[in-house]
Structure 1
Amino acid sequence: MIQKVHLWIGIIIGLFFSLSGLSGSILVFDDELDVYFNANLWRVEPQSDVMRLDEATHKVQSYFTGHAVLLARLPREPDHSIEYWIKKNEVLEQVYVDPWTLEILGRRDEHAGFLGFLHDLHVHLLADDYGLFVNGILGLILLLTVLTGLWLAWPGWRKLVNALRVPRKSTRFASWFALHRSAGLISMLLLFVVALTGAAMVFYKPTNAALVAVFGGPGLSEPPLIEHIEPHDIQKLPSALLRTAESEIPGANATWLRFPVKPEMPFVVRLKYPDDSHPNGTSYVALNSFSGDVMMAHDAKSSGTGQQIADMKYPLHIGTAAGLSGRMLIFVTGFIPTILFVTGIYTWWFRRNQTLNKTATSFRSVSLDSDPSVAENECNVITEHNRKNQS
């Protein structure tokens, strides 16, 4: 039964696992590749120590009047532009602005280009929120595939070394089967972590709640809304709010800004400690955009154990939890599902053909000169045996 579950999961959705792994391998270095291939959007010439954030934001808001400016990704390097996220007619558009000259360097849809396509495929299966949900379910199925593979392939600790070897001088079937087994055993833990963290990110709300409940809080809560707004109130400049946020969590640097799309919504700053393995950081400060008061502050170093575990989902998924070596390890792991899919399909196809050939030989061996009732009975037995093997 376990063998059939493992087999048919691999046959039916093994191609999905393969595409997900290959796209994930490339996306491990998404930022570096994007900057390299789209230097016209990212590269700028620094002209001072202080970027003109307020003027750049005002220019984007004025240029896209009538459209919501949602986010701003602040430069990760001194020679990087500011990336603004604009919502235009239910489509997210990215706009790149030189923070010193205020030149709009370019704009593109969220999933434009090859890397954008890969990101949409890897996360949403090219089907928006529906694809995201299906992706989470498929991640859970991948967990089942890994566990059934472990059950079938585990040789015991004493025989483990031999099970990891791929014989050089052997039949093609034996070599491919050994490759399937050894690749699965070697990568099993990493595949389990990638599948688990991927599914956990899709279903992040119940996952985070469960982790905080089991391992303890405090967890990350939603920032409150602004209760009282006077008609004459004016929103403060982004740079002033950013400075307040960074002073609230000393030692952490701002990475993202979330602008309020409604007056009662807070201005949210995301921050990152230098030793935080999450590329975007896991600290947040929500501010009243009119008064500048801090409404909520979430310091990653003061989080409960449950929230700290929850914050590790993405770093584990992309390998940054172990630095560059971890990213390289995840990059290589992304190719394993393709190896398992190809070798698994081949061994299944080979065994199926062997069964069919044996059946055909058995039919031919039935003597036409023998008692017809005996011949008919032998044919029935062979047919029933073949049916069970194929079911």
Structure 2
Amino acid sequence: MKTWLRRIHLTFALVSAIFLVNLSLTGTLLVFAKDIQAWCNPQYWTVADSQILKRQNTPLATSEIVNQIDLLTPSSILFIERNESPSSAWQVRLADKSYVSINQYTGDVLLHYQYQDTFYGFVMGWHRWLLYSEGDEHPLGLLPPLASLILCLELILGFYLWVRPKNRLKRLKVRWQAKNKVRFMQLHNVLGVYSLIPLFLIAFSGLAFYFKDATQAVVEVVTLSQIQTPQKVTLSTVRQAETLKTTPENYQLDKAVASAQAVFEDAWVYRVYMPQSQEEPVKLRMRRPDESHAYSYSWSNPFTGDVIDSFDASQTSLATRVWNFKYSYHIGNFIALPVKFIWLFLGLLPTFFVVSGIYIFVKRRANPHAKVKTKV
């Protein structure tokens, strides 16, 4: 049984080696990709401290940002994404799928770009669909999540192979003076055991972006609760047909934002979604202090600026909060900066497991009768 499990463990590794290494390296890069991007070209992604001080850390009104974008392009705005850091520029997504990086204090357009033309977008495209796309379709997009699934299985198999023999705790040591084959075997086992839970959850949270229904079902079973999602809100549901004669130029965007912030006084506005039809409200995605990311929402009538509905994600079920935490956990963006460095190390482990596993296999094939001594 143990021999067959080892063969399965090896086969999975060999079949998925290229894709596991790809996920490992690109995932590691993504932990600090935006920071690297801003460091290499600060003129596109950051704003000067003098401008922040001049505006007393107060950005332009939403309507002024919209007016500046309208001067740049006839394409309509899908959303305006704010940044919690005062020195980081805001990003605007347009209907033509391009983006605009804008100085939120002066309204100056810093860069008009396509997502995958940036370092972060390039690495993300490499990580999620291997850079190959046909329009909006990604033919190779299923390969990375399958590699994540194999990583989950490999971690479970590897743990079983470690835990089954006796003296398992004594084998959680590395004899640095031993031969390379022995040392790599011990490192492979020790790092695999210690990283099992966090690495498994990173892989599982990655699967959640592709196999949503299946992973949601797992979260609901584990937490014994149901995942709650906000319902779609339209202006027609509140019967404000009289406002539909008003043109988009008369949107009360600033009042809509202020009204939403009055509902969630302690929340930070992450995104402002612009109406794409006369039946759509202004949707604001907001982050409350108890949330790992922005999952609360407020909907406002764009013609009056009044709030018509809201969704407080911080008061939802355990399953909902666990589900919403997946993104922050996957990228290591929680608690404090040191967590990102831990995730940097964890992200490189699949590459180490693939390389060390193949090395051990080759050594065994070269000397099939030799036994690896793992005594401590």
- Same fold by TM-score greater than 0.5: yes
Match of 1:192 among 196, 200, 203: 200
Q: Identical aligned pairs, as a percentage?
A: 23
Is the CA contact (8 Å cut-off) linking 1:201 and 1:313 kept in structure 2? no
Is the CA contact (8 Å cut-off) linking 1:69 and 1:87 kept in structure 2? yes
Deviations 1:21-70 (A, max 9, x none): 222222122333232222111222223224232122122134221x3421
The 5 Å alignment of 1:1-391 reads: 1-44=4-47, 45-46=51-52, 47-48=54-55, 49-65=58-74, 67-88=75-96, 92-128=97-133, 129-154=138-163, 158-160=167-169, 162-208=170-216, 211=219, 215-217=224-226, 219-227=228-236, 229-230=241-242, 231-235=244-248, 236-278=251-293, 281-355=294-368
User: 5+ residue gaps in structure 1?
Assistant: 359-391
TM superposition score normalised by structure 2: 0.84
Q: Which amino acid aligns with 1:282?
A: Y
2:374 corresponding residue in structure 1: none
Q: CA deviation at 1:209?
A: 6.1
Deviations 1:191-243 (A, max 9, x none): 11111111123233554466457633571223222225445224423222111
Q: Which has the higher Rg, Structure 1 or Structure 2?
A: 1
Q: CA deviation at 1:156?
A: 6.5
Between 1:200-209 and 1:77-86, the stretch displaced more is: 200-209
Deviations 1:305-328 (A, max 9, x none): 211111111122122334223222
Q: CA deviation at 1:340?
A: 0.8
Is the CA contact (8 Å cut-off) linking 1:255 and 1:270 kept in structure 2? yes
Is the CA contact (8 Å cut-off) linking 2:288 and 2:314 kept in structure 1? no
Find the residue that maps to 2:334 and give its secondary structure. Answer: helix
1:367 corresponding residue in structure 2: none
Q: CA deviation at 1:110?
A: 0.6
Q: Which amino acid aligns with 1:32?
A: D
Q: CA deviation at 1:157?
A: 8.4
Q: Cα distance 1:97–1:50, how it changes in 2: closer, same or farther (>3 A)?
A: closer
Q: CA deviation at 1:181?
A: 1.6
Compute the RMSD of aligned alpha carbons: 2.5
Find the residue that maps to 1:327 and give its secondary structure. Answer: helix
Quote the Cα distance in structure 1 between the aligned partners of 2:80 and 2:219. Answer: 30
Q: Cα distance 1:218–1:296, how it changes in 2: closer, same or farther (>3 A)?
A: farther
Quote the Cα distance in structure 2 between the aligned partners of 1:219 and 1:73. Answer: 24
Find the residue that maps to 1:84 and give its secondary structure. Answer: strand
Quote the Cα distance in structure 2 between the aligned partners of 1:344 and 1:171. Answer: 15
2:373 corresponding residue in structure 1: none
Quote the Cα distance in structure 1 between the aligned partners of 2:227 and 2:146. Answer: 28
Q: Which amino acid aligns with 1:186?
A: Y
Q: CA deviation at 1:269?
A: 0.7
Q: Which amino acid aligns with 2:260?
A: A
Quote the Cα distance in structure 2 between the aligned partners of 1:241 and 1:219. Answer: 25
Q: CA deviation at 1:19?
A: 2.1
Q: Cα distance 1:240–1:178, how it changes in 2: closer, same or farther (>3 A)?
A: same
Quote the Cα distance in structure 1 between the aligned partners of 2:166 and 2:313. Answer: 40
Q: Cα distance 1:5–1:287, how it changes in 2: closer, same or farther (>3 A)?
A: farther
Q: Cα distance 1:142–1:314, how it changes in 2: closer, same or farther (>3 A)?
A: same
Q: CA deviation at 1:73?
A: 1.0
Quote the Cα distance in structure 1 between the aligned partners of 2:234 and 2:328. Answer: 30
Deviations 1:226-283 (A, max 9, x none): 22544522442322211111111120010111222222223211111245332xx221
Q: CA deviation at 1:141?
A: 1.9
Q: CA deviation at 1:107?
A: 1.7
Q: Cα distance 1:157–1:85, how it changes in 2: closer, same or farther (>3 A)?
A: farther
Quote the Cα distance in structure 2 between the aligned partners of 1:321 and 1:156. Answer: 37
Q: Cα distance 1:144–1:159, how it changes in 2: closer, same or farther (>3 A)?
A: closer
Is the CA contact (8 Å cut-off) linking 1:120 and 1:126 kept in structure 2? yes
TM superposition score normalised by structure 1: 0.81
Quote the Cα distance in structure 1 between the aligned partners of 2:71 and 2:365. Answer: 66
Q: Which amino acid aligns with 1:319?
A: G
Q: CA deviation at 1:10?
A: 0.6
Q: Cα distance 1:218–1:8, how it changes in 2: closer, same or farther (>3 A)?
A: closer
Is the CA contact (8 Å cut-off) linking 1:269 and 1:285 kept in structure 2? yes
Is the CA contact (8 Å cut-off) linking 1:267 and 1:287 kept in structure 2? yes
Q: Which amino acid aligns with 1:14?
A: A
Q: Cα distance 1:296–1:33, how it changes in 2: closer, same or farther (>3 A)?
A: farther
Q: Which amino acid aligns with 2:158?
A: G
Quote the Cα distance in structure 1 between the aligned partners of 2:71 and 2:271. Answer: 20
